[in-house]
Amino acid sequence: MFSEDFYRYSVLTPNANVTYTRLRWYQQRKISLIIVLLISPVVMFFVLYGILFGFHRNIVYPKTATKVSSETLHRALTYSRTAAGNHTYDPIPQFKITKKIPINKFKLVCYYSLPDDSSSLQIEHLDPHLCTHINSAFAHIVNNSLYMTEYQKENLKKMVKLKEVNKDLKVLVSVGGAGNVNNGFPEMVFNHSTRKTFIKSVVSFVKEFNIDGIDLDWEFPNTNKHQRTRFTQLLEEIRKNINKQQKNQYLLTVAVAAPLTLVSQCYDVPYMNDYVDFINVMSYDYHFYSKWTPFTGFNSPLYSSENEIFIFGTLNVNFSANYWNHLGMDRAKIVVGLPTYGHTFKLANSKNNGLYAPAFGYGRLGSFGFVDYPDICKFLAVNQISPVFDMDTKSPYASKFYEWVSFENTQSLTYKAEYIREQRFGGAMVWSLNSDDYNFSCQIEGRHEGKFPLVKSIKNALFG
């Protein structure tokens, strides 16, 4: 069918006659197919690696010191699920200060996770004058009684000794903690008898260790309709009992949710106002990667952004603090929570890297989407990343390739502390001392910020 010329041709060279044999057409295709089959898996591997892992070969990740247990994810995931599932809600009230509120003595409440090993922040490295209150986290509830391990108790004794340096420092023990499903609260509040057992152990504990009070961190009393009422009864009964202790005025505080839906579900706010000395509003984890909210967002924005609508317009510090006041909590009893850690996201498209950009996982920086401030500093420095500061929300963020991180810096926390001061709330709460730069490791634009730069920026703005 084909001529001989289709298969052979001759070329005369100056040196010799050389005959070249051309391969048959089906032989050529066979070799090409073999080459394609050999190369394709290699190409596909690198393409898939780039898609799944974000071409991170050009990003340097510091060895993270961020420690996150699976339980720590509970609050962030609860906030995320609540936001995604809340499609109907009351009209957002317009908040404003309607009367002159006298300047009160602000509080700077700092949570401190008791050390579990030598690499953790040790008590001897704390500044007794940095915070007005230190909440030692966490004690638990076992058999309806307050419980701490012997190791925790020894560290608590060291904590109390800080009061010898600063006589005005208040040391409290926080009971519960994020995501501790078996935290003992539901069983303990079940009836008057079980609550009485707990209260007796609390009074005995604060006397034995010479602490200044107790902080309850139940996340959250909304599993059934009775928990909210029983929690209020617990607060009332604790207040009555500690008021009987004439030698000391013990403090009763509560760590509370920030999102609108959880606040309205979990708490009898006017009654709580009668019994607590103040509340610590956990106004962070507003945006966190989950299957319900697969997009970027700020961890703790001061205000909503210009384009946020519906329930997302309520996920900010300003709304949460004022909403608590709107429901009946005295303004001076509202201590506004601020984080020293950030959240990371893995972008779906490296070119789409703004607010509410699609994401499909936690970032590689940190652990389970959480990252401490020193790790953020190192990440920005070694990769020469300049953060973006969003003026609407007073929040910074940074991205490179597929990595996106929301965090706080001295600028954003100064804005928030000034806001707390101007609005005459009770003060600021920090979660946590452990996530700040306590090792003097951060460098911003080539200069060190000192130890605990984030907490110090809050203190300077709040009391300055």
CATH number of 275's domain:
3.20.20.80
Three-state SS string over 147-201 comes to: ECCHHHHHHHHHHHHHHHCCCCCEEEEEEECCCCCCCCHHHHCCCHHHHHHHHHH
Q: What's the confidence (pLDDT) of residue 34?
A: 67
Q: What's the confidence (pLDDT) of residue 296?
A: 98
What confidence tier does 5 reach under pLDDT thresholds 50, 70, 90?
Answer: very low
Is residue 46 located within the same domain as residue 78? no
Is residue 252 located within the same domain as residue 296? yes
Sheet holding 370-372, edge to edge: 370-372, 341-346, 403-406, 395-400, 388-390
Lowest mean pLDDT among 99-113, 240-254, 270-284, 366-380: 99-113
Task: Tell which residue, 430, 389, 413, has the closest CA to residue 464.
Answer: 413
Evaluate if residue 68 carries a pLDDT over 90: no
Q: In sequence order, which residues have a C-beta less than 8 Å from that of residue 154 and are 6 or more positions away?
A: none
Evaluate if residue 374 carries a pLDDT over 90: yes
Angle between helices 410-423 and 453-463 (to 10 degrees): 30
Evaluate if residue 456 carries a pLDDT over 90: yes
- The residue from 219, 308, 403, 408 that is catalytic is 219
Is residue 90 located within the same domain as residue 116? yes
Q: What's the confidence (pLDDT) of residue 18?
A: 47
Evaluate if residue 91 carries a pLDDT over 80: no
Asked if omega into 389 is within 30° of 0 (cis), the reply is no
Is residue 35 located within the same domain as residue 136? no
* pTM for the full predicted model: 0.86
Cα–Cα distance measured from residue 24 to residue 26, given in angstroms and rounded to the nearest whole number? 6
Radius of gyration, CA atoms only, the chain: 29
List beta partners, residue 398.
405
For the beta carbon of residue 392, count every other beta carbon within 10 angstroms.
16
Evaluate if residue 102 carries a pLDDT over 70: no
Cα–Cα distance measured from residue 203 to residue 22, given in angstroms and rounded to the nearest whole number? 97
Is residue 10 located within the same domain as residue 144? no
Q: In sequence order, which residues have a C-beta less than 8 Å from that of residue 168 and are 6 or more positions away?
A: 132
Mean pLDDT of 408-430: 98
Mean pLDDT of 150-171: 97
Evaluate if residue 450 carries a pLDDT over 50: yes
Evaluate if residue 19 carries a pLDDT over 70: no
Mean pLDDT of 68-89: 72
Say if residues 145 and 109 touch (Cβ distance below 8 Å).
no
In the residue annotation, 445 being an active-site residue is answered as no
Do you know the residue count of the chain? 464
User: Which residue range is the domain that position 11 belongs to?
Assistant: 4-53
What confidence tier does 61 reach under pLDDT thresholds 50, 70, 90?
Answer: confident
Evaluate if residue 309 carries a pLDDT over 90: no
Q: Which two tokens stand for residue 333?
A: 């009893």
Cα–Cα distance measured from residue 174 to residue 140, given in angstroms and rounded to the nearest whole number? 9
Is residue 39 located within the same domain as residue 110? no
Q: What's the confidence (pLDDT) of residue 445?
A: 67
Q: Which two tokens stand for residue 118?
A: 């030598």
List beta partners, residue 109.
133, 429
> DSSP assignment of 261-325, as one string?
HHHHHH--HHHHHHH-SEEEE----SS---SS--B---SS-SS--TT--GGGGG-SHHHHHHHHH
Share of the chain above pLDDT 90, in %: 69
Cα–Cα distance measured from residue 70 to residue 213, given in angstroms and rounded to the nearest whole number? 28
Q: What's the confidence (pLDDT) of residue 275?
A: 98
Q: Which two tokens stand for residue 62?
A: 């510091």
Say if residues 315 and 301 touch (Cβ distance below 8 Å).
yes
Say if residues 327 and 263 touch (Cβ distance below 8 Å).
yes
Evaluate if residue 298 carries a pLDDT over 60: yes
Is residue 337 located within the same domain as residue 193? yes
Q: What's the confidence (pLDDT) of residue 248?
A: 78
Cα–Cα distance measured from residue 253 to residue 216, given in angstroms and rounded to the nearest whole number? 6
- Domain count of the chain? 2
pLDDT: which is higher, 7 or 116: 116
Evaluate if residue 221 carries a pLDDT over 60: yes
Is residue 62 located within the same domain as residue 49? no
- How far lies 390's CA from each of 279, 282, 407, in Å? 29, 22, 12
Is residue 403 located within the same domain as residue 439? yes
What confidence tier does 447 reach under pLDDT thresholds 50, 70, 90?
Answer: confident
Q: What's the confidence (pLDDT) of residue 464?
A: 84
Residue with tokens 């999102």: 259
- How far lies 352's CA from each of 95, 402, 408, 450, in Å? 34, 9, 22, 35
Is residue 38 located within the same domain as residue 63? no
pLDDT: which is higher, 405 or 310: 405
- Tens of pLDDT, residue by residue over 375-390, are 999 999 999 999 999 9
Q: What's the confidence (pLDDT) of residue 83?
A: 79
Q: What's the confidence (pLDDT) of residue 255?
A: 98
Q: What's the confidence (pLDDT) of residue 226?
A: 94
Is residue 34 located within the same domain as residue 68? no
Q: What's the confidence (pLDDT) of residue 38?
A: 73
What confidence tier does 14 reach under pLDDT thresholds 50, 70, 90?
Answer: very low
Cα–Cα distance measured from residue 446 to residue 377, given in angstroms and rounded to the nearest whole number? 11
Q: What's the confidence (pLDDT) of residue 457?
A: 98
Q: Which two tokens stand for residue 175?
A: 């009971």
H or E segment to which residue 75 belongs: helix 73-85
Evaluate if residue 290 carries a pLDDT over 90: yes
Q: Considering Cα of 52, then 54, then 57, then 59, what sign does the dihedral take?
A: negative
- How far lies 1's CA from each of 7, 20, 29, in Å? 12, 22, 19
What confidence tier does 12 reach under pLDDT thresholds 50, 70, 90?
Answer: very low
Is residue 121 located within the same domain as residue 14? no
- Tens of pLDDT, residue by residue over 261-275, are 999 999 999 999 999
Q: Which of helix, strand or coil describes residue 38?
A: helix
The pLDDT mean for the chain works out to 87
